[in-house]
Structure formats: C-alpha cells, structure tokens
C-alpha cells in the first residue's frame, strides 16, 4: 500500500513543513494584531490568549493617532521612498545603458567596481556619510534621508543585466532614426525595461519604507520621521511602553505595503524572483 | 538616390582584422548584394557605411561627400535589420513615425504632454500622418498600423520595418539579412516584393545576405566577400558563370559546384581523372582544380564513370550523387528529367562539355582556358 501511494505521504509531509514554516513567519504579525486589539490590562495579564476578551482595537488606534502624527509620518515615508526611487532610476538607467551597450575604455573595470560596491554593507559607510552630511549641514532633513541612496549599485547592476538582453539592433535602429544617446535611454531602453524597473522599484520601496537604521541616526526633528521611527515613538522608558497603541501604529505603517502586495501580488513575486532578494 | 564609394576600408576588432582594405563603388540606383559566409565582414562593412561602426582607416563617400565622423542619422541612410528592430512598446504607426518625428519636430515639441500644446505641432503631426498613410498603402499594411509589433507576424513586422526605412526618403537603403528570420515560403515571396520595391523606388539598395539565392534573384550586382576581402563583384550571371576565384565558385550555386583534382601538362593540356580534356591553357605545369556546375554534368555518355551513391528527387529536378570510380572524388549532377533516374549503386557514364569547365590554380585563382575544336571530352588517351 505504501508503495502504491508514495506521493500522498510525501505531499502531506511537505505541507506540514510548509504550514509550520508559514505559522512561524506569521506568528509575530498575528501577535501584533492580537496585542493591538487588547486593552492595557489584558496585555500585561499573565495568561496567554490570542483572542482578546475585551476588544480594544479602535481605542488603541485612536490613541496611536492622538499620541503621534501618524499621517505625517506616512506622508514622510511616501516622500522619501518615492524620491529615492525616482533618483535611483535617473542615475541607474543611463549608467546601466553605458555599461551594457556602449564601448569605452575601462568599461569592464567600472563594472567590476559596481559589483564590488554591492558587497559593501550600508552600515560600513554610515559614519563617513553621516560626517559628510554634517559637514555640508544637511543632517536632519529630507535630503539626509534621500541623498545617500540615490546611487544604487544594485540598481545599476540589475538594469545592466536587463539591458544586456535588449538586442543591439534596437539601439542601432534608434541611432539610425536620429535619437540621441540619452534619448535612447529614456525612449527605447526604459519602455523595454519596465518589468525590471518595476522589480527594482518594489525592492527599493520596500527596503526604504522599512529602513529604521538610517533615519534613526540622521533625524532629530519629529516632523521628518519616517514610519518605522513612528513606532519607536511609543517606546517610553520612563512611563512604560504603551504596547497597545504601539502595535496599532505598527499595523498602520505596514498596511500600505500589505495593501500594495495584495493588489500587485504577481508583480511582487516576479520582482522578488527577478532581483533574487528574499 | 546616391552613389556610395568605399576606399581602402580597414577594420579590426581586438587585433583581428575583419576588413582588410575594401575598395568598392556602388552606383546610383543599384541593387548591390554583399554576400559571403558568416564572419566574412559583410555586416561590418554595412555598419561602417551606416555610420554605426567607425572604420580604422579608409574613407566612405556618399554622393562624393566624405561622411566619416558624421552621425548615422545625419547620413540620411535607412537600415532594415535582421531582427526588424521595431520598438516593442510603440504601435506600427508610431514605429514608422519615429524617424519623421525626430527630424521634423523640435526637442520641445517631442515632449510627451507639453509638446501637444505647442501651436505648430498639430500641423506637423498631420503631415506625418499623411506620409505614413501613404507608405502604409504602398506596403499594404494600413489595417495593421494600430497594432504593436508583438501582435504582428514575421512578414508583417518586416513590412513595418521597411516602411520605417521608406518614410524618411533616404539616399540609400541598407538591408542586414532582412529575410533570414522568415520561413522559406515567405522568404521567396518577400524576395519578389523587395525587388519590386527597388524597381519602383529606383533607390540605391545595399543588401547583406549569406543566402546566395537572395543575392542571385534580386540584385543588379553581387559583391562576394571572403575573409575580410571583397574578391569579386559583378552581375549575378557573371558571378555564377565566370567566378574569378574557387571560393566564389563554391559559394555561389546550390548544390555546390563540383571540384575535381586535375593536372596541367607541360604542353598546356589538362588531365582530369586519367582523361585528357579538349582544353589548353598557358599556365605552368602542375596541379590544378577543375570545377563544373552540376547542371553541366551529362549522364549516360562521356569518358568518365561513377557509381550512384545517393539520389535526391525534388520533383521538378533531381540530384544524382556519384562516386567516381578509381578515385575518392564525389560529384553531383543535376537531372532536369526526373522520370529517368539511374538506379542506386548502378554505374553511370558521364561527361561534360569543354566550355563548362572552369579551372583554378592551387591558390584558387582562375586560369583562362582555350577550348579546342570538338565539343566533347576526348576518349581516354593511352600514352
């Protein structure tokens, strides 16, 4: 019998493992929603229960919006991530075009440097960049949040790999038609590379929306805070952390990404497989 | 309408010489085919004419004007690519419109939204539309103008690409193997269409292909390139009948020309496969090669005999592959009458007329022959 049905057993095992993995991944989110729905007294009670006895989500949300200017933080998040992405594309596309389609001395060396740049973690350059921003007096501004990320070596690499697959004939046809080299980047290569640009956009927006480290070190002013800092706002060592509103705020700030994911699930998955980032 | 003059064009990539000094003159209104095996430099030469590739030395003149260092678009040539190279995100109409918009609209007028507000733009767009519709009518692609290249078949894309080339009324058209992505049937059809287009436009066509059938059927002149050199140029009939080099003889013609080892005697006579031909030449005694086209091999009579090793019956004609007895040589004979095919493995006598023979020295250069009185090859001479 077991020989006749080897596949169902394996399939069951596979599903059990996958469900366990999914549950593990989802647990913090479920706990976040659970905590956000509980009143303060239940959060600190010693018994462990997922469904609150008294449903307090609305109160916690109200308190979260009252204590911190959450809408402002969400707007900051949009301003910063969109500016970063637009500037990254404006830098990466011409650079990637040059590396993929133009012949010039030192092209391979430059490309090797780009690859090398991918290996450097942002934390390693944080202090020099911080000092630089301090010297030019840009700390504690939108510019401090945006400028360090405008040149994305990963973006250049990704677009260069994609441009390599665009046939040379297309570029030559554009030259015969009288389109300038910059024109080729925006009128020919960009439309051809929309899937790659989308993928890179998803990667870039997710990374910078969720970035906690860099905004934390360059910002002082409250009105410039990005969404992850908004959550930290509820941590208070003196009066004790108010977990209910904190979790409610966390729910609010991840909501845009979750909604975007639900709307463009297929694109997200394509993008993430294309960029090879998990 | 232009004449194109190439003088001493040299090009090398990473130390490899791709073009070794090409001198060539393309007359106004000619249909020139550049043919040769892949890697012979024909596409590179076309790209140098177009300005897409700079030559290392030498000059290109178009209508007597040097164009070296002039941008491709400013040379006013149009090119049709092997992959058609249509912009995938634009409709057929917009694809054809690109060269016109680039030339007739200013940079500000080309801006996506702002441009449409400018006063002169609408009148210009009307002219562009009229021009494109005229071209579409000529090429029979009017119903396809709204479609994107992805929704068009190979032949339709080909026509759109030709339309994009025609619409700018260029001095000359450059074609880079434009038919090689089409299936065999469509290729034959497009061959006739391109030849017809050339007759109608009376423009200069430079056509690169590795397919000798395309070159033979369409061009007014063929230039055969091998290993970075242009070895012979002439009308299709000249190239076929009077090849100046054995590589030309072997490249042009399908099936390939038959080549047999021969020997030139001291008195100028020529021996092939133990038989003396009714020919003389002035070349020094030594080895040579004899070439005869498959259709000039006559089966049934003649001084030679061979065994049938393979038969290819194409319906209208047939090819008989013979192994010549007593030697390792193989040759192919074309039979126009397929009703009387020799049996496989049978022995067949064959011969060829003296004027069918083309002779080449060991280096591959043509040797001139004088045909003696009689037409047929003499019976084996017992010396």
Q: Do A188 and B87 touch (CB under 8 A)?
A: yes
Name every chain A residue with its beta carbon within 8 A of the beta carbon of B73: 175-179
Chain B residue with the nearest C-alpha to that of A169: B85
B98 vs A: CB within 8 A = yes
Cβ distance of B85 and A173 shorter than 8 Å: yes
Beta carbons within 8 Å of B69's beta carbon, 6+ residues apart: B54
Which among B50, B81, B103 is the nearest to A178, CB-wise?
Answer: B103
Q: Cα angle at A252 between A251 and A256, to 5 degrees?
A: 105
Q: Does domain B257-371 have CATH number 3.40.50.300?
A: no
> What are the residues facing B172 on neighbouring strands?
B77, B204
- pLDDT score for A278: 42
Are the Cβ atoms of B81 and A178 closer than 8 angstroms? no
pLDDT of the residue at A3:
54
Strand order in the sheet with B4-13: B16-26, B4-13, B57-62, B65-66
Contact across the interface for A169 and B85, Cβ inside 8 Å: yes
Q: Please tell me whether the peptide bond between A105 and the residue prior to it is cis, using omega within 30 degrees of 0.
A: no
- Chain B: residue nearest A193 by CA? B89
CB A192 to CB B88 under 8 A? Answer: yes
pLDDT value of residue A39: 86
* pLDDT tens, per residue, chain A with 278 residues: 445 555 688 889 999 999 999 999 999 999 889 988 888 888 877 777 788 888 888 888 888 888 878 889 999 999 999 999 999 999 999 999 999 999 899 999 999 999 999 999 888 999 999 999 999 999 999 999 999 999 999 999 999 999 998 999 999 999 999 999 999 999 999 988 888 888 888 889 989 999 999 999 999 888 888 988 888 777 766 666 778 888 888 888 888 888 888 887 777 676 666 655 44
Which of B82, B102, B176 lies at the smallest CB-CB distance from A177?
B102
Q: Does B102 touch chain A (CB under 8 A)?
A: yes
Question: What is the ipTM score, two decimals?
Answer: 0.83
Strands B286-292 and B258-264: antiparallel
Name the residue of chain A whose CA is nearest to B173's CA: A176
Cβ-defined contact of A177 to B77 (cutoff 8 Å): no
Torsion of CA B14, A171, B144, B177, to 10 degrees: -10
Instruction: Tell me whether B236 touches chain A (CB under 8 Å).
Output: no
3-class DSSP assignment, residue A152: coil
DSSP letter string, A231-269: HHTT--TTT---HHHHHHHHHHHHHHHHHHHHHTHHHHH
Would the CB atoms of B164 and A188 count as touching at under 8 Å? Answer: no
Instruction: Please tell me the predicted confidence (pLDDT) of residue A114.
Output: 94
Are B281 and B357 in contact by the 8 Å Cβ rule? The answer is no
Q: Chain A contact for B164, CB < 8 A?
A: yes
Domain range summary for chain B, segments of one domain joined by +: 4-241, 257-371
pLDDT at A1: 46
The CATH number, out of the four listed (3.40.190.10, 3.30.2320.30, 3.40.50.300, 1.10.10.10), of the domain defined by the range B4-241: 3.40.50.300
Among B75, B85, B103, the strongest candidate for a mutation testing the A interface, having the largest count of A CBs within 10 A, is B85
B112 touches chain A (CB under 8 A): no
Q: Is B47 an interface residue toward A (CB < 8 Å)? A: yes
Min Cα–Cα distance to chain A from B252, Å: 28
Check CB contact under 8 Å for A172 and B88: no
A172–B52 CB contact, under 8 Å: yes
CA of B110, closest CA in chain A: separation in Å?
11
Q: Is A76 exposed, middle or buried (0-12, 13-18, 19+ CB in 10 A)?
A: buried
What is the helix (H) or strand (E) element at residue A85, kind and residue range? helix A70-101
Contact B102 A179 (CB under 8 A): yes
Its pTM stands at 0.81
Closest partner residue to B89 among A167, A179, A191, by Cβ?
Answer: A191
- pLDDT at res. A263: 82
**Confidence (pLDDT) at B161:** 94
Tokens at B215, concatenated: 């070159």
* Confidence at residue B279, expressed as pLDDT on a 0 to 100 scale: 84
A17 to chain B, closest Cα gap in Å: 43
User: Which of B201, B233, B205, B200 has the alpha carbon at shortest distance from B218?
Assistant: B205
Give the per-residue pLDDT at A38.
87
Please judge whether B78 and A176 are an interchain contact, meaning their C-beta atoms are less than 8 angstroms apart. yes
Task: Indicate the burial class of B142 (C-beta count within 10 angstroms; 0-12, 13-18, 19 or more).
Answer: middle
| Cβ pair B210, B177 in contact under 8 A | yes
Per-residue pLDDT of chain B (383 residues; tens, 9 = 90+): 689 999 999 999 988 999 999 999 999 999 999 999 988 999 999 999 999 999 999 999 999 999 988 999 899 999 999 999 999 999 999 999 999 999 888 888 888 777 777 888 888 889 999 999 999 998 889 999 999 999 999 889 999 999 999 998 899 999 999 998 888 888 898 899 899 999 998 999 999 999 888 999 999 999 999 999 999 999 999 999 999 999 999 999 989 999 998 889 888 888 888 888 888 888 888 899 999 999 999 998 888 889 999 999 999 999 999 998 777 888 999 998 888 889 899 999 999 988 899 999 998 899 888 887 554 445 554 54
Torsion A187-A189-A190-A193 (CA) sign: positive
- Name the interface residues of A facing B (CB cutoff 8 Å): 167, 169-170, 172-179, 188, 191-192, 194
Q: Which of A172, A178, A194 sits opposite B85 (nearest CB)?
A: A172
Query: Looking at residue A96, what is its pLDDT?
Result: 96
Residue to test with chain A: of B72, B77, B106, most A Cβ within 10 A = B72
Q: Which of A169, A172, A192 sits opposite B89 (nearest CB)?
A: A192
Domains of chain A, earliest start first: 6-58 (no CATH), 68-233 (1.10.3720.10)
**Mutual orientation of helices A6-36 and A243-263 as an angle, nearest 10°?**
130
Question: Which residues of B fall within a CB distance of 8 Å from A167?
Answer: 83, 85
Predicted pLDDT at A194:
84
**Closest CB to B99 among A167, A178, A191:** A178
Q: How many CB atoms lie within 10 A of CB A193?
A: 23
The two structure tokens encoding residue B146: 């709204």
**Binary contact (A176, B77; C-beta < 8 A):** yes
């Amino acid at each position: 019998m077991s020989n006749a049905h080897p596949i169902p057993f394996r399939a069951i095992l596979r599903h059990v493992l996958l469900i366990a993995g999914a549950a593990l991944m989802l647990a913090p989110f479920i706990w976040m929603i659970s905590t956000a729905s509980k009143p303060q007294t239940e959060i600190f009670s010693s018994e462990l229960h997922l469904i609150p006895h008294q449903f307090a989500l609305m109160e916690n949300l109200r308190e979260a919006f009252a204590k911190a200017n959450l809408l402002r933080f969400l707007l900051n998040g949009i301003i910063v991530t969109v500016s970063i992405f637009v500037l990254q594309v404006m830098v990466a596309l011409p650079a990637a075009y040059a590396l993929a389609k133009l012949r010039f001395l030192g092209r391979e060396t430059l490309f090797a440097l780009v690859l090398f740049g991918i290996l450097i973690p942002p934390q390693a350059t944080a202090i020099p960049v911080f000092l630089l921003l301090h010297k030019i007096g840009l700390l504690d501004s939108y510019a401090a949040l945006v400028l360090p990320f405008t040149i994305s070596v990963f973006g250049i690499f990704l677009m260069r790999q994609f441009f390599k697959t665009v046939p040379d004939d297309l570029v030559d046809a554009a030259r015969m038609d009288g389109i300038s080299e910059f024109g080729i980047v925006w009128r020919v290569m960009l439309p051809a590379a929309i899937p790659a640009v989308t993928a890179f956009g998803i990667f870039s927006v997710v990374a910078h929306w969720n970035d906690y480290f860099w905004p934390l070190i360059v910002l002082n002013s409250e009105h410039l805070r990005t969404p992850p800092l908004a959550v930290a706002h509820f941590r208070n060592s003196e009066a004790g952390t108010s977990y209910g509103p904190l979790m409610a705020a966390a729910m609010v700030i991840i909501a845009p990404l979750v909604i975007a994911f639900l709307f463009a699930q297929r694109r997200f998955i394509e993008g993430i497989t294309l960029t090879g980032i998990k | 309408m232009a004449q194109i003059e190439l003088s001493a064009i040299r090009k090398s990539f990473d130390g490899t010489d791709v073009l070794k000094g090409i001198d060539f003159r393309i007359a106004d209104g000619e249909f020139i085919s550049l043919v040769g095996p892949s890697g012979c430099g024909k596409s590179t030469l076309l790209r140098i004419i177009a300005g897409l590739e700079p030559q290392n030395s030498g000059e290109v003149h178009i209508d007597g004007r040097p164009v070296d260092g002039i941008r491709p678009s400013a040379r006013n040539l149009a090119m049709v690519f092997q992959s058609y190279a249509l912009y995938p995100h634009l409709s057929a109409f917009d694809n054809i419109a690109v060269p016109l918009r680039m030339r007739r609209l200013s940079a500000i007028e080309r801006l996506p939204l702002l441009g449409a507000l400018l006063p002169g733009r609408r009148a210009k767009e009307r002219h562009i539309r009229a021009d494109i519709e005229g071209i579409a009518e000529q090429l029979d692609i009017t119903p396809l103008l709204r479609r994107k290249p992805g929704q068009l078949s190979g032949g339709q894309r080909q026509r759109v690409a030709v339309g994009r080339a025609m619409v700018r009324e260029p001095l000359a058209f450059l074609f880079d193997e434009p038919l090689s992505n089409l299936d065999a049937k469509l290729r034959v059809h497009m061959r006739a269409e391109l030849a017809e287009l050339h007759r109608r436009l009376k423009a200069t066509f430079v056509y690169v292909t590795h397919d000798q059938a395309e070159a033979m059927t369409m061009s007014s002149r063929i230039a055969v390139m091998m290993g970075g050199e242009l070895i012979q140029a002439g009308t299709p009939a000249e190239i076929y009948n009077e090849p100046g080099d054995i590589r030309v003889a072997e490249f042009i013609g399908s099936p390939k020309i038959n080549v047999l080892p021969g020997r030139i005697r001291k008195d100028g006579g020529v021996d092939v496969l133990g038989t003396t031909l009714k020919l003389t030449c002035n070349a020094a005694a030594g080895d040579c090669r004899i070439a005869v086209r498959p259709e000039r091999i006559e089966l049934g009579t003649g001084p030679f005999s061979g065994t049938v090793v393979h038969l290819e019956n194409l319906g209208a004609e047939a090819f008989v592959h013979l192994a010549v007895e007593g030697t390792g040589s193989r040759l192919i004979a074309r039979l126009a009458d397929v009703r009387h095919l020799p049996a496989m493995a049978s022995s067949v006598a064959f011969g060829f007329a003296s004027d069918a023979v083309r002779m080449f020295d060991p280096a591959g250069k043509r040797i001139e022959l004088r045909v003696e009185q009689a037409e047929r090859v003499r019976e084996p001479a017992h010396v």
